[in-house]
Amino acid sequence: MSRSTRSGTRGEILDAAARLFAATGFKGTSLQDIAGEVGCSKAALLYHFDGKDAILAELLAPAVEAFTTLDARLAGLGDEDVQLAAVEGYVDLVMRFRREVTVLYDDIPALLQRPAFAGVHGMSDRLLDALAARSPAPAARIAALMVLSAVPVICMERIEIGVRTAPIMIGDDELRSILTRSAARTLDLRGA
Amino acid sequence: MSRSTRSGTRGEILDAAARLFAATGFKGTSLQDIAGEVGCSKAALLYHFDGKDAILAELLAPAVEAFTTLDARLAGLGDEDVQLAAVEGYVDLVMRFRREVTVLYDDIPALLQRPAFAGVHGMSDRLLDALAARSPAPAARIAALMVLSAVPVICMERIEIGVRTAPIMIGDDELRSILTRSAARTLDLRGA
DNA sequence: TCAGAAGCTGACCGATCGGACAGTTCGGAG
DNA sequence: CTCCGAACTGTCCGATCGGTCAGCTTCTGA
């Protein structure tokens, strides 16, 4: 379960796939690429996994699980507390699963259609609602959407936006703090 | 040059391509798809255009030109005025070229490598700089990156984020106003 | 009337992809 | 020693893609 150097060929496949998916995207990585990185045949991948999708599902499973946990926690909060908790929980989630988020961002619509991510749509909807403090006002929902879309981009391991700016070299704690405060400003959230 | 119903087969191809690229992405749209929509053969597309890339380049050319204009205007402003002008100019740019932005978002890294978009990287870098009020502080740059990445998502014709929320039904003027104010809050920009 | 250009078609090509499958290697249990 | 199953390979398949090409129609101007 450690981030790098899993044991056995199966583990090596997962490691290589995680690296390549994050670097060149899910669609942009072929089974041949992974096999080449591992040093085995493409058929070996399909011996250990039911297919390319199965590799992806196993890689993203921990992130989906953590998202589910956050979803459950937010569900138990009242409208007053839910917004701040959503901001902090979301920033934390994305930062903890940077690599997974990077992979997911490659092609969200197609990826989320897979059965392994059946519940993600609903959870995303509820998270958006929480970020908007469960307000139906357009201004609140747009600000929530902005936060929802901006946070992953900042944390991604690969720059998807057109900018080629030098990576911002700061520690995770400072990044988390800046992200949380910026998101709170976007949402016009008091007391953050 | 009108958004819909260009004249002639060549115009129909551009219209169909614009619709399909926005709906299913550049990579997700095959020449066969476009030909089917137009009602001609795939070879006819390649008679009118040098290739799939050429269709894309022609579709995005007006947006690139408008971006170039914005870039030039921002270059003439001092550090005090540039941030607000960047916010308003960027929001305006993205809203005016929603469809083009939607297409571009499909695969920014690969798309921007094409010669037709040679200058976009530099312009994006300078826009980011302007949004950060040309400050090197990490907090300013992160907030600028958040704005840069969030605004297009809100305006896109196709929802790329996981949420399946009902589209926010408001007029363009209100959307522009909300976007500008939200972005200003994110950037901690006074007097917007 | 006729040559030639414009517009377009169907057939085809090579590359790449995910995946299927039969066969091979090899270590350990009986 | 035998055998069996896990691990793995090389090869092939069908589908899809962007793109090429020879040739067919249709319109036009000298």
Mark yes or no for CB contact A139/B181 under 8 Å: yes
Alpha-carbon B188 to chain mean position = 24
Which alpha helices (H) appear in chain B, and where do they start and end? 8-24, 31-38, 42-48, 52-75, 82-96, 98-104, 108-112, 120-131, 138-155, 172-186
Rounded CA-CA distance B63/A73 in Å is: 43
A73 touches chain B (CB under 8 A): no
The CB-based long-range contact list for A4-11 (8 Å cut-off, 24+ gap) reads A9/A38, A9/A40, A9/A44, A9/A48, A10/A48
pTM as predicted:
0.91
A157 touches chain B (CB under 8 A): no
Tokens of A144: 């929530």
pLDDT single digits (tens) A85-101: 999 999 999 999 999 99
Q: Which amino acid is at B19?
A: R
Question: What is the percent of chain A with per-residue pLDDT over 90, rounded to a whole number?
Answer: 78
Mark yes or no for CB contact B170/A138 under 8 Å: yes
A188 touches A143 (CB < 8 A): yes
Residue with tokens 């009118």: B48
The Cα-based distances of B130 to A110, B147, B171, B173, B180 in angstroms read: 35, 12, 28, 24, 15
Phi, psi of A163 (to 5 degrees): -70, 145
Who among residues 9-38 of B has its Cβ near strand D, under 7 Å? 29-33
The Cα-based distances of B154 to A7, A43, A144, B56 in angstroms read: 43, 42, 10, 22
Mark yes or no for CB contact B146/A151 under 8 Å: yes
Mark yes or no for CB contact B120/A146 under 8 Å: no
Distance A38 CA to C21 C1' (A): 22
Which CATH number, 3.40.50.300, 3.40.50.720, 1.10.10.60, 2.40.30.10, labels domain B1-49?
Answer: 1.10.10.60
Q: Which strand C bases fall within 7 angstroms of a protein CB? A: 7-11, 16-22
pLDDT single digits (tens) A20-34: 999 999 999 999 999
Q: Which residues fall within 8 angstroms of residue A34, CB to CB, at 6 or more apart?
A: A13, A16, A17, A20, A42, A45, A55
Phi, psi of B137 (to 5 degrees): -60, 135
- CB pairs below 8 Å between A and B: how many? 132
pLDDT at B1: 42
> Which residues from B are below 8 Å from A120, CB to CB?
162
- Nucleotide nearest B38, from its CA to each C1': C8
pLDDT single digits (tens) A120-129: 999 999 999 9
Alpha-carbon A131 to chain mean position = 17
Instruction: Write the burial class of residue A138 (CB in 10 Å: 0-12 exposed, 13-18 middle, 19+ buried).
Output: middle
Q: Which amino acid is at B118?
A: A
Residue with tokens 């917004």: A83
Q: Which residues fall within 8 angstroms of residue B84, CB to CB, at 6 or more apart?
A: B184, B189, B191, B192
| 3-state DSSP assignment of residue A173 | helix
Interface mutation target, options A131, A142, A188, chain B, most CBs of B under 10 Å: A142
Residue with tokens 């507390």: A81
Residue with tokens 């469809």: B99
State whether the beta carbon of A52 lies below 7 angstroms from any atom of strand C: yes
Residue with tokens 């138990």: A76
Q: What is the pLDDT along chain B (192 residues), one digit of tens a residue?
A: 445 577 789 999 999 999 999 999 999 999 999 999 999 999 999 999 999 999 999 999 999 999 999 999 999 999 989 999 999 999 999 999 999 999 988 888 888 888 889 899 999 999 999 999 999 999 999 999 999 999 999 998 777 777 877 778 899 999 999 999 999 999 999 755
Question: What is the percent of chain A with per-residue pLDDT over 70, rounded to a whole number?
Answer: 96
pLDDT at A7: 77
For chain B, which residues make up each domain, given as ranges? Answer: 1-49, 59-186
Kindly state the helix (H) or strand (E) to which residue A19 belongs, with its residue range.
helix A8-24
**Chain B contacts in chain A segment 11-70 (CB below 8 A):** 27
* Partner residue facing B112 (CB), from A145, A162, A168: A162
Q: Which amino acid is at A75?
A: A
State whether the beta carbon of B126 lies below 7 angstroms from any atom of strand C: no
Q: Which strand D bases fall within 7 angstroms of a protein CB? A: 7-11, 16-22
ipTM: 0.89
Residue A167 pLDDT more than 80?
Answer: no
